[in-house]
Chains A and B, each alone.
Chain A
Amino acid sequence: MIQFSDASVTYAGGVHAMQHLDLTIEQGEFVVIVGLSGAGKSTLVRAVNGLVPLTGGSLQVDVRPGRSLGGRSEGEPTSYDVVGLTGRRLRDLRAEVGMIFQGFNLVKRTTVLNNVLMGRLHRVPTWRTLLGMYPADDVELAMRALERVEIVDKAYVRASNLSGGQQQRVGIARALAQEPSIILADEPVASLDPPTSHAVMRYLQQINREFGITTIVNLHFLDLATRYADRIVGLRNGELVFDGPGSAADEHVFRDIYGRSLTADDVMGEEERGGDAEAVVTPPTSPA
């Protein structure tokens, strides 16, 4: 369970990226956060693993190791009070939370496998990681993570040689290799084309369903959001302006969240060309 209570983030420049947020996300939920850029989506997901510290309120993250790739079942449920968390405890929390990034954030000059093994850093003694001597079990887990996103054949290829979609799959595998209880995805498809985006969203959905991993995804595209989300949370100017099931979020709701009429840029479009009933809106000429 992730519980924001009266949580606020004010950046050094005085920008209020999160204002008095009250939000509870249950274990295993698939939540999509929508909002314009600058609405505080990134801040929200980065607060969960402490990459962005709260400046007010509280945030409690309970992790419950569940089913995972490695069949990990040890570990009691642990509760983290994220505010003020530092050092070892903060890293313990982060190890339980996988993260996927808009820019993939792979080390391009090393192999795909080494990138995925970064997900194991917290579980392996530091001296072994320094020498690159990962235990066989951890390599096996990384391989399974790659198989899960169907890119194991590239395990020994340098990440720089992959296309954008392939790199994001490696990013998912890296998060999966952490055997996380929570996965955060910050605009995971913003750099991808529609078919690849759908594929990435489907991987996230499958992982969520299969392992019961709580999944929080930032998205801009309303069609992707309504299609994959169990629950949609809308942010505007750092404030919660919508919270409801994916099915309840229609065009009017999005207009409300975005505070403007919708444009073609707000829709990802379908993976196959040709008409599809699920395309929510195709707005007319509207300047950006």
Chain B
Amino acid sequence: MSATAPSRRVARPDEPPPSRFGVAMGVLFVVMTALSVVSTGFSLDGIIEDLGRRNDSISGLLNIDLSVITSTRTLTAFVETLQMAVVGTIIGGAAALPLALASTEVGARTTTVRWLVRAFNNVVRAIPDILWALLFVAMVGIGVLPGLLALVFFSIAVTTKLTSDVLDGIDLGPVEAADATGAAHVAKLRTAVVPQILPAYSSFLLYNFELNLRASAVLGLVGAGGIGTRIEFYRSAGRWPEVWGIIVLFFAITFVVERLSIMFRRRLV
């Protein structure tokens, strides 16, 4: 760089061609959108037309029935949902801690254990909550039990993943120190590893509880207990004002729970 010779000429570069990546993305976008429209029969006209037509769902929303909460069966279902979410979080969360530990280099005794646990975690995570519910309904019949089991597995998936991410970033100093004292494996994890992740782990449990509460609303759609069974009941009876009433009330409750949970989580971390 020599400012003293401003007349020095540098050749202007040619404009580079559009980046291949950019072009590829453009093509991908157009092709995917076109193929998707064709194969799903999606049409904007159809959407607009549908929205303009009178239908049970929207008129149900306009005549929303919040008094549905006074029905004993609905109230019971609400309580059931809360119970499912609580138990799912506690049991699933408790199982998640050792699973998360065993999936990391620090926590697993051998590589084989680590890979087995990781494979298990990946499979559990790949199956959505409602599929777990379907499977458990098929195994143990309809009711609260399959929903509970589904939430346990869902909680394992969520909490294990989040916790093991934190475990990857812990300070290895205390672990080395514990090794140096000749501590046993479990004792080492208990004193040098768990204390480091405890605040984050507790926060994940609360977060997981929020997710469980929300998930438990849909499990009932496939017969796995909770408030979803009431949504399904009113829906199949075509009683949309009640359906909307439950949905609005339920999300009012989840909103409150979420605020409380966020408050606690802030204090934890």
Contact = CB atoms under 8 A, between A and B. Distances in A.
Question: A and B touching (C-beta < 8 Å)?
Answer: yes
Interface of A: 143, 147-148, 150, 152-156, 165, 196, 198-199, 202-203, 206
A196 to B, nearest CB: 8
The DSSP consensus for interface residues of chain B is loop
Contacts, number: 35
Contacts of B9: 147
A147 B10 contact: yes
B13 A202 contact: no
Contact of B3 (A143, A154, A155, A203): A203
Contacts of A156: 13, 15-16
Given A165-B1, A202-B4, A152 B15 contact: no
Contacts of B12: 143, 147, 152-153, 155
B10 A153 contact: yes
B10 A199 contact: no
B14 to A, nearest CB: 8
Contacts of A155: 12-13
A199 B16 contact: no
Contact-residue size bin, chain B (C-beta under 8 Å from the other chain): 10 to 19
Nearest to B15: A156
A143 B15 CA distance: 12
Tell me what chain A mostly uses at the interface: helix, strand, loop, or mixed: helix
15 contacts: A147-B10, A147-B12, A150-B3, A150-B6, A150-B8, A152-B12, A152-B13, A153-B12, A153-B13, A156-B16, A165-B1, A198-B3, A199-B1, A199-B3, A203-B3
A155 B16 CA distance: 10
A206 B15 contact: no
- The 9 A-B residue pairs whose C-beta atoms are closest, nearest first, are A202-B3, A199-B3, A153-B10, A156-B16, A152-B12, A152-B10, A155-B13, A156-B13, A153-B13
B16 A150 contact: no
A231 B123 CA distance: 74
Nearest to B10: A153
Interface in B104-125: none
B214 to A, nearest CB: 36
B11 interface: yes
A159 to B, nearest CB: 15
A150 B10 contact: yes
